[in-house]
Amino acid sequence: MRQAGLIGVPRVRPWSWQAFLLGFVVVAVSAALQGICVAFGAKFYFAAFLPGLFVLGLVAGAPAAAFAALLTIPLVWWAFMPPFFEFNSLTSANADSINLFCLLAVLLIGLADLCRETMAIISRGGLKPSGESVATNSQ
């Protein structure tokens, strides 16, 4: 039987320092990519961070992805929302962007955690059938 998982990508143990370091690296790479997008005129503040959160959730688990999401919010507020490189009061549109990011981050991290658990179940040989089926009537 073939091993399930991401081919060629090592999985990191959740709650380890390596997982949180990987979360920090993912946020840094996403920030660089977001900076390039902003230089071209994009107004989507969190666009480059969402795919990174999903992949981080698959590889390193939900705690590291949640850490990265929490690290992303003040970073985007400081670096990508005008006025740039200073904390200012949020407009209602910027607050809505942060709220939407939080919602999407929770959904993506949850989906990544489900996918990670499914890959773990499949790599252990799948679910074992019980002796009795639910549809069987024992009467």
Q: What are 36-90's pLDDT values in tens digits?
A: 999 998 888 999 999 999 999 999 999 999 999 999 999 999 999 988 899 999 9
Q: Kindly state the tokens that stand for 130.
A: 């019980």
Are 52 and 68 in contact, with CB atoms under 8 Å apart? Answer: yes
> What pLDDT does 78 receive?
95
> What pLDDT does 8 receive?
55
Residue spans of the domains in the chain: they are 17-123
Q: What are 79-105's pLDDT values in tens digits?
A: 999 888 999 999 999 999 999 999 999
Q: Give the count of alpha carbons within 13 A of 16, CB side only.
A: 10
Q: C-alpha dihedral over 119, 122, 123, 126, to 10 degrees? A: 150
